[in-house]
Chains A and B, each alone.
Chain A
Amino acid sequence: MAVARERLSTAQATVQPGALLQTIGLTKSFGGLAAVQNIDFHISPGEIVGVIGPNGAGKSTFFNLITGLYKPTRGRILVAGQDVTGKRPDILLRAGVARTFQNIRLFQNMTVLDNVLVGYHTRLKSRLVGDILKLPPTRREEREAERRAFEVLRLFDDRLVPHSYELARNLAYADRRLLEIARALASSPKLLLLDEPTVGMNPAETENAIRIIAKIRSADLAIILIEHKLNVVMGMSNRVVVLDYGEKIAEGTPREVQTNEKVIEAYLGRKAAAQAAAMLDRRDALEEAGQ
């Protein structure tokens, strides 16, 4: 029974076999100020883990660390048991870690299809000469890449496919957010980091995004979700990690986290906690109705 724990001391953390991603005592300081401190974290294949916390709690810094954008001050990062601490983002992507950004960062002047193809880049083998001369192996590879890109775009129902040859900048806001997810998926990641995927979306768009995220999650794809909308994160996650001032203050199932004193004090406030509990009940009811 995993009761929402007090902060784990790093001394106890050991390499967990079978974890897809694990961080041990992960710390990042900016000029003496610790943005992320001593985070022990793990996620197993196929799991969805929510990361919540007030603004400035270190959630995005945590993402930047495990995607290699920042180099950690201390601590280790393991992907499938391999130490990847301090590796470059493109290496980490090859290891299977892909992400979206909190503020949309598509290649705005490229088509929707090209955005996804850039994501697929890492899977292509052909070299520069073959690329320029369009040798048969390259052509074959490119046809395959395009087929695969459309496969990814189709996961998003009819939101992206009809716009395949339009510039990314011309998409509706919510669709641009979805395209970011598609671009990340194109690299066939094992772990997908979603940084507030539904921010700025209206309720209907949010519902739709949740449905799609639930659809893309599979036994081969684990998801870490940063999200401010508590109903979203509580509804989707198998497990929730709560950060505050760069430290992990709680971890457990959505229900455990919500009843955790520290979390309520630090983050939710009693009123919000009650609301979240109501959401949980609603989810349970929905699940029962579904079965």
Chain B
Amino acid sequence: MNQFLQSLPDTLVQGLAIGMMYALIALGYTLVYGILELINFAHGDVFMLGGLFSWAALQHFFGAQIGANYGVLGGGTLVMAIILAFLIATVSCGGVGFVIERFAYRPLRNAPKLAPLVTAIGVSFIIENAVLVWQTGTGNMELTYPSLINQQIIPVLGLHIPSKAIIVFVTAPILMVGLLYLVGNTRMGKAMRATAQDQEAARMMGIDVNRVISFTFIVGSVLAGCAGVIYALYYNSIDYSVGFLAGLKAFTAAVLGGIGNIRGAMLGGLLVGEVESIVDSIDASQGVGLQWAEPAVFLVLMCVLIFRPTGLLGAQVVDKA
């Protein structure tokens, strides 16, 4: 226990880093739910694709340097590689999100709610298995993701911050603030809020609802794709299955904060990250292996939902009266 308390500040820093990752994914769940009341189960897999596509791009353009330096780059090359990774994830995942909505969900827009839900699960399986087939086919069962920056512990104010967490602390807040700005201060954001509150009335006000929905999927998928890059850089590995658990936890985070609520998803993500990190740390100090984090996350979810069924910050309740 003593060991746990001693390392608590560092544990919290680590939780913050993981939590920001979950928050980025949770935002996509919450954006889509807010507008379509659809739980996009394929979202976690879009997150995984972000890591995968950026891995492929890094291998293609920087493969030689990465191989020569054990995954570490420096100077201008490092900056180029990081920009490339995020750019590829943004473009490809944005495209994937658009295509999923256009061809899997839109035809079912007026069908009973269960139909798109089941379709979402189907899309998730398709993506996962397509990647699995590719991984087995090419003999890439374990993809090592380059860490790009030198792995070291940076002491700041008595804390020990791993250098890989710096990437999270720099990129995730930028993306989150960007999203808040987009939704709160732009005309497109206004159209998104209007569509979320009353689709029919929005249509009557001249809003092209289909365009808004497409845009929402693209934005959510871009955030997930970037989270995928961050995840892969953080854990130095990526494979077809990581989207499932990360997606599930991020979805939990969205529900925890109040699904449909953007700030709720951010808060929920951070909370899930902290719980996971703290429980892992307790596990480590007791020497029982890292297995209680997931049950703890879901236990917290259950407790919150018993007392606040709409989540911490309240689900976005559409007032149709």
Name A90's contact: one of B182, B187, B193, B203 (CB within 8 Å). B203
Partner-A contacts on B (CB < 8 A): 182, 186-188, 190-191, 193-194, 197-198, 200-209, 316, 319-321
A101-B187 contact given A90-B207, A110-B193, CB 8 Å threshold: no
Residues of A61-108 whose CB lies within 8 A of B: 67, 69, 88-90, 93-94, 98-99, 101, 103-108
Question: How many chain A residues touch the partner (CB < 8 A)?
Answer: 33
List A contacts of B182 (CB < 8 A). Answer: 132
Contact between chains at B206 and A90 (CB < 8 Å): yes
Whether B188 contacts A93 by the Cβ 8 Å rule is no
Q: What B residues does A99 contact at CB under 8 A?
A: 204
Q: Total A-B residue pairs with C-beta atoms closer than 8 Å? A: 77
B198-A93 in contact (CB<8A): no
Is there contact, CB below 8 Å, between A131 and B204?
no
Contacts of A121 in B (CB 8 A): 187, 190-191, 205-207
Q: Is the CB of A93 within 8 A of B204?
A: yes
Which stretch in A112-120, A154-162, A241-249 binds the other chain? A112-120
Interface 9-mer from A10-18, A44-52, A122-130, A258-266: A122-130
Residue of B193, B197, B201, B206 most packed against chain A (CB within 10 A): B206
How many angstroms between the C-alpha atoms of A117 and B207 in the bound complex?
12
A190 interface residue per 8 A CB criterion? no
Min distance, Cβ B209 to any Cβ of chain A, angstroms: 8
In the complex, are the beta carbons of B186 and A122 less than 8 A apart?
Answer: no
> Which chain A residues in 131-156 approach chain B with CB under 8 Å?
131-132, 142
- Which of A90, A109, A131 lies in contact with B208, CB distance below 8 A? A90
Would A93 and B321 count as touching, CB distance under 8 A? no
Tell me the interface secondary structure of chain B in the complex: helix
A105 touching B186, Cβ below 8 Å:
no
Asked if A119 meets B321 with Cβ closer than 8 Å, knowing A107-B197, A109-B193, A132-B186, the reply is no
List residues of chain A with CB under 8 Å of any chain B CB: 67, 69, 88-90, 93-94, 98-99, 101, 103-110, 114, 117-119, 121-122, 124, 126, 128, 131-132, 142, 169, 183, 187
The answer on a CB contact under 8 Å between B197 and A109 is yes
CA A128 – CA B192 in complex, angstroms?
13
> Assuming A90-B206, A110-B190, A128-B188, what are 18 further A-B pairs, CB within 8 angstroms?
A67-B204, A69-B203, A89-B206, A93-B205, A103-B321, A104-B321, A105-B200, A106-B198, A109-B316, A110-B193, A118-B191, A118-B194, A118-B205, A121-B191, A121-B206, A131-B187, A132-B182, A187-B205
Given that A105-B200, A132-B182 are contacting pairs, would A117 and B190 also be in contact in the complex, using a CB cutoff of 8 Å? Answer: yes
Interface contact B202-A118, CB-CB below 8 Å: yes
10 contacts between A and B (CB under 8 A): A90-B206, A93-B206, A105-B201, A107-B193, A109-B193, A109-B197, A118-B190, A122-B206, A131-B186, A131-B187
Q: Closest residue of chain A to B187, judged by CB?
A: A131
